[in-house]
Chain A
Amino acid sequence: MDFNDTPQEAEFRKKVRAFLEANAEKRSTLSSKPNGDSGSSISSAGAPETVKGEDAAKVALDNAKEWQRKKADAGFAAILWPKEFGGYGGTPIEQVIYAQEEHDYFVHSGYFEIGIGMLGPTMMAWGKDEDKKRYLPKMITGEEIWCQLFSEPSAGSDLAGIRMKAEKDGDEWVLNGQKVWTSGAHFADYGMIVARSDPTALKHKGLTYFYVDMKTPGIEAKPIKQISGSANFNEVFFNDVRIPDSQRIGAEGDGWKVSLTTLMNERLAVGDPPGLDFDQIFEASKEIEVEDGLAVKNSEVRQKMADWYIQSRGLQYTKYRSMTALSKGQTPGPELSISKLVTASKMQDVSSYALDLMDMSGMVHQDKNPVLKNLFQNGYFFSAAMRIAGGTDEVLRNIIAERVLGLPQDERSDKKLPFNELPSGKN
């Protein structure tokens, strides 16, 4: 047992470090400044803010594109992609090593993660050669940004319940409906979308997958303001949006199959969540006074912190176990599936408890808050979203129960009826 890189891995890590040291700024433990955002609120690494000053947003995007270009020039923008599309042609362990190293720096990677991590691989697997040649290289360099148009108001955890209409009209398709929780729709150049092309077919059979130019007439993106006050997502409306059949990816009716390729890549794409963890509350507890002195000396506080420590390090060592498998060229076991489930609740518990420790001053949540820079106030709001985004706690528990433990699937009433005959509460 050891934590050492193999010689090849060490060589790669050295290259990554040299690149980051020369080009990016390092983070400290008690900083509220998350990846890709210089503002006052924590945002998910994969979801840059949408509402703040127009100028600030433009500056942030330009900075991100500049960083992405540097990353692409150095070869690190898409570690797993083959070289022919501008990727590094690397291994999963190299991707993990890069992510580990980049995690310690303030960089803008969120804008491109969905494209490079999920949509690009989908196009590689299902797209036409001319599309791959045309779109993939610019996806890597950040010149063109992509968004994922999957979720809908009535298709969240039950993603296959998509109602967006796709109707064929000669050589074109006409899209009508609404998407939601779309990161970056307002600045994205292109999107990948799943729509219902045949409502009389079974739920998973009547879907078709397309890509769209986000400037096509009839597409309108509106930011969704979250409880944190920031807006990391959009709702996107489609009104008689006409696209050529050449923008279809995969066969008509194969939309669910193609979507699964996108979703399978989600786990690899979603990076480390922003840090609000044992380390932060441990540091903060040395600054906060409670009834009998510093919080760090209070026995109840110490007992609580120990719980978060074992969760936090337990996850870290679990990643090491998975990395070991990757390093040996094996597929990691199912143990990684616990990561977000544990992280999100831990963050909520940590933030809520830290606010308790701060007592009355915990109420304050304003710009330039001198008390711990809003770290835990932001975490309090962000964690509530994190327990839902990318698979709710409940869906994740189902996934663990069914796919890892092999327990029976839930009984479903939606597998045997045509989609348009399913109960929806609306018809």
Chain B
Amino acid sequence: MNFDFSDDQKLLRDQARKFLQDKCDRKSVRSILENHKQSYNAKLWSQISELGWTGTAIPEEYGGLGLGMLELCVIAEELGRALAPTPFSSSIYIFAEFLKSYGTDEQKKKYLPLIASGEKIGTFALSETNGKPKPNNIKTQYVLGKLNGSKNPVSDGESADYIIVAANSDGNSNYNSLSLYIIDRNDPGVNISNLETIDPTRPACTVDLENVACERLGDEGIGWEMIDNIFNRAAVLFSFEQVGGAQVSLDEAKKYSLERFAFGKQIGAFQALKHKMADMYVKIELARSNAYYGAWALSTDSNELPIAAAGARVSASEAYNFASQENIQIHGGVGFTWEYDCHLFYRRSKLLSLNIGSIRQWKENLISNLEKRNIV
């Protein structure tokens, strides 16, 4: 039994933590939160790119470091702890993973080195309407080599250079008519307009497409299958971000409860708060363990991945939501002020539990994959 990260991976974690404590403090997170003109911290982005984080799990032949997915999990947890305001997840967990899994060699050569170096940023555009994206509500169409339609919300769309767009083709809208296409945001038919989000440190936008040139990624008509697969991979990475953020929420709740006195003692001495923090701990440990299992499945290309990813996603989303909510509660009145940091985690936790599909959607994924496994 070796269900743990290696010593080298732990060393990487310690280095990443130290680096982010230094370069990504709360002031820098707030500068993005409060400055609507900036969608991410460009300086931090170039620093973490220089460190090679963006290329962690991209093969060396395509300009990456060629390390494994476990190393990327380690970095994800640290980015989550630090609330790093960068498009890392869109560009690395999703765009790069799409290219790695489905790009032709030519496409990999064209895009991956630019993504690995952090020079260019990629993202993915799927949703078009209220509620869960599904075949009949994807109106974006691919006709005669051009894309037309409108996508929103698109995470990190404003900073993206390349966008993978999900589109139906030739007037169809069924499970087998969706394909994915790569576009360049500089195409004259692309129009991007910002959207406010519940967490402005993780921005989104609307992307309107009018006769936009594109190249197809992966086989025609397997778009939904590709999305499931890449979202499973991303879910594991996000679960580490979530566990990281949840842990800091608990740590800060605990710290405050030891500093704040009421009724003649530290509020952390009241059982009502002790038990609440014990419950936070329990949920976080379960989430961490589920995330580890996801990491194992991801790093070994196990066919357990759909189940492991859904388990990690649900567990980590719930743990982070709970921890960030109760962190505000433990802080009392100051917890809901702009000045205190509790809301940064409250915002981030909810956004992360929605960005690649809601908890209820992933619970459904989990059970349906368990049913499939039982049949096989």
* Residues of chain A whose beta carbon lies under 8 Å from any beta carbon of chain B: 1-5, 9, 93, 282, 296, 299, 302-303, 305-307, 309-311, 313-318, 320-321, 323-325, 327, 335, 338, 341-342, 394, 396-398, 400-402, 404-411
Chain A residues positioned under 8 Å from B292 (CB to CB): 1, 317, 320-321
The 11 listed contacts between A and B (C-beta, < 8 Å) are A1-B2, A2-B1, A3-B2, A9-B1, A315-B289, A317-B289, A320-B3, A325-B4, A397-B275, A397-B279, A407-B257
Q: List the 10 closest pairs (A to B, CB-CB), nearest first.
A: A314-B286, A306-B363, A401-B274, A317-B289, A408-B269, A397-B278, A400-B278, A320-B3, A310-B315, A397-B275
- Known contacts A1-B70, A303-B363, A408-B268; is-contact A309 B370 (Cβ 8 Å): yes
B106 contacts chain A at the CB level, 8 A cutoff: no
Which listed residue, A313, A325, A397, touches B311 by the CB 8 Å rule?
A: A313
- Known contacts A4-B2, A306-B367, A321-B3; is-contact A314 B279 (Cβ 8 Å): no
Cα A184 to Cα B4 in complex, Å, equals: 40
Chain A residues positioned under 8 Å from B5 (CB to CB): 1
Docked-complex contact B296 and A309, CB < 8 angstroms: no
Task: Give, as a whole number of angstroms, the nearest-CB distance from B304 to chain A.
Answer: 11
Cα A122 to Cα B271 in complex, Å, equals: 32
Docked-complex contact A407 and B254, CB < 8 angstroms: yes
Docked-complex contact B370 and A407, CB < 8 angstroms: no
Docked-complex contact A4 and B1, CB < 8 angstroms: yes
Task: Give, as a whole number of angstroms, the nearest-CB distance from B172 to chain A.
Answer: 27
B219 contacts chain A at the CB level, 8 A cutoff: no
Chain A residues positioned under 8 Å from B161 (CB to CB): none
Cα A342 to Cα B287 in complex, Å, equals: 13
B314 contacts chain A at the CB level, 8 A cutoff: yes
B76 contacts chain A at the CB level, 8 A cutoff: no
Q: Which of B1-59 contact A (CB under 8 A)?
A: 1-5
Docked-complex contact B269 and A342, CB < 8 angstroms: no
> How many residues on chain B are close to A (CB under 8 Å)?
49
Chain B residues positioned under 8 Å from A315 (CB to CB): 286, 289
Given contacts A310-B311, A394-B271, A404-B278, 15 further A-B contacts (CB under 8 A): A1-B299, A296-B367, A296-B371, A310-B286, A313-B289, A317-B292, A320-B1, A321-B289, A324-B1, A324-B2, A325-B4, A335-B285, A342-B286, A397-B278, A398-B278
- Known contacts A303-B363, A310-B314; is-contact A317 B3 (Cβ 8 Å): yes
Task: Give, as a whole number of angstroms, the nearest-CB distance from A214 to chain B.
Answer: 38
User: Contact mask B336-376 → A, CB, 8 Å, 1/0?
Assistant: 00000000000000000000000010111011101100000
Task: Give, as a whole number of angstroms, the nearest-CB distance from B288 to chain A.
Answer: 8
Name A336's closest neighbour in chain B (CB-CB): B285
Cα A5 to Cα B1 in complex, Å, equals: 5
Name B268's closest neighbour in chain A (CB-CB): A407
Docked-complex contact B285 and A324, CB < 8 angstroms: no
Task: Give, as a whole number of angstroms, the nearest-CB distance from B310 to chain A.
Answer: 8
Docked-complex contact A327 and B265, CB < 8 angstroms: no
Chain B residues positioned under 8 Å from A404 (CB to CB): 278, 281
- Known contacts A4-B2, A400-B278; is-contact A317 B290 (Cβ 8 Å): yes
Interface centre among A2, A310, A327 (most CB of B within 10 A): A310
Docked-complex contact A338 and B1, CB < 8 angstroms: no
Docked-complex contact A324 and B4, CB < 8 angstroms: yes
Chain B residues positioned under 8 Å from A317 (CB to CB): 3, 289-290, 292-293
Docked-complex contact B282 and A338, CB < 8 angstroms: yes
Which listed residue, A2, A310, A400, A411, touches B281 by the CB 8 Å rule?
A: A400
Docked-complex contact A402 and B274, CB < 8 angstroms: yes
- Known contacts A309-B370, A411-B265; is-contact A405 B254 (Cβ 8 Å): yes
Docked-complex contact B269 and A1, CB < 8 angstroms: no
Name A408's closest neighbour in chain B (CB-CB): B269
Which listed residue, A323, A342, A402, touches B3 by the CB 8 Å rule?
A: A323
Cα A409 to Cα B274 in complex, Å, equals: 10
Cα A324 to Cα B362 in complex, Å, equals: 29
Docked-complex contact B285 and A338, CB < 8 angstroms: yes
B72 contacts chain A at the CB level, 8 A cutoff: no
Task: Give, as a whole number of angstroms, the nearest-CB distance from B68 to chain A.
Answer: 10
Cα A408 to Cα B257 in complex, Å, equals: 10
Task: Give, as a whole number of angstroms, the nearest-CB distance from B280 to chain A.
Answer: 9
User: Contact mask B240-262 → A, CB, 8 Å, 1/0?
Assistant: 00000000001000100110000
